[in-house]
Amino acid sequence: MVQSLKARMRAGEAVNGFWVELFSPTAAEVMSAAGYDCAMIDLEHGTADLSDAVSVMRAMRGSGCTPLVRIPENAAAWAKRVLDAGAAGVMIPAVNTAAEAQAAVAACHYPPRGLRGMAAPIVRAAGYGEDWRGYVEEIGHAVLVICQVETQQALDNVAEIAAVDGLDMIFVGPFDLSASLGYMGEPDHPDVRAAIAAVEAAAKAEGCLLGGIPTPERTPRDLYEAGYDLVLGEIDLVLLREGARLGAAALREAAGRR
């Protein structure tokens, strides 16, 4: 059996991933084959729906790259739908209290541990029911429940959030957190860095996995050295944007144009 992404991190492996914002199956296929450990399919900020996310997951199939999904809000219906569609983990944005974290965990697990609706005999995640009992057993161990800490309220409650049973990972949202603290666009401001350090300490104190993204002054290496288990680096849209800018600039220069 292939070891799950969660099991790999629990065993001490630092993993990586990229963000899916384009929702292009071709782009997702190319990137998932490049060697990333996982992809975070973004239904919070991405301009896509669940069927687009399924198309991306189909394109990734067989690559060894684990599909994770960030849902738009902390809602049991959203968690259920993306897990039924085949996500191996769910990222829940803006989790501000322990009660909200408990609700997120419950939404991602079948009874008796949680309240995820039981449709395993027909859903894509279970091979449309081909081995639904095996799926139910496996996903109970493998599902990765990720809560984002990205507000002042969450910062105030981070110790209680990190202590929630069944919460696998706290994921730092440095840009939203900086905005919430009054430093819009300054994720490396000393006050923001101090707040992030408090989140990191709380997660590690409770044995919670830690995830995040690079900032202008913190590289992926910096994050791994600080104890991060998951770093989501590249964004498919940004890679395309920056590659296109460089290509267009090179052609203009070759033609003697500015």
Annotated catalytic residue, options 45, 109, 141, 189 = 45
Strands 230-235, 169-172: pairing kind: unpaired
Q: State yes or no: is 45 an active-site residue.
A: yes
Say what the alpha-carbon torsion angle 82, 213, 197, 225 is, to the nearest 10 degrees. 120
CA distance 80 to 69: 11
CA distance 109 to 116: 5
Six-digit token string for 120: 């395993």
End-to-end CA distance of the chain: 56
Six-digit token string for 138: 């496996």
CA distance 196 to 203: 11
Residue 133's identity, in one-letter code, is R
Q: Is the dihedral of CA 170, 171, 172, 173 positive or negative?
A: negative
Q: Which of these, 208, 212, 173, 139, lies nearest to 44 by C-alpha position?
A: 173
Q: Is the dihedral of CA 216, 74, 151, 180 positive or negative?
A: positive
Q: Which of these, 174, 233, 172, 224, lies nearest to 203 by C-alpha position?
A: 172
Residue 257's identity, in one-letter code, is R
CA distance 217 to 39: 23
Catalytic positions, written as ranges: 45
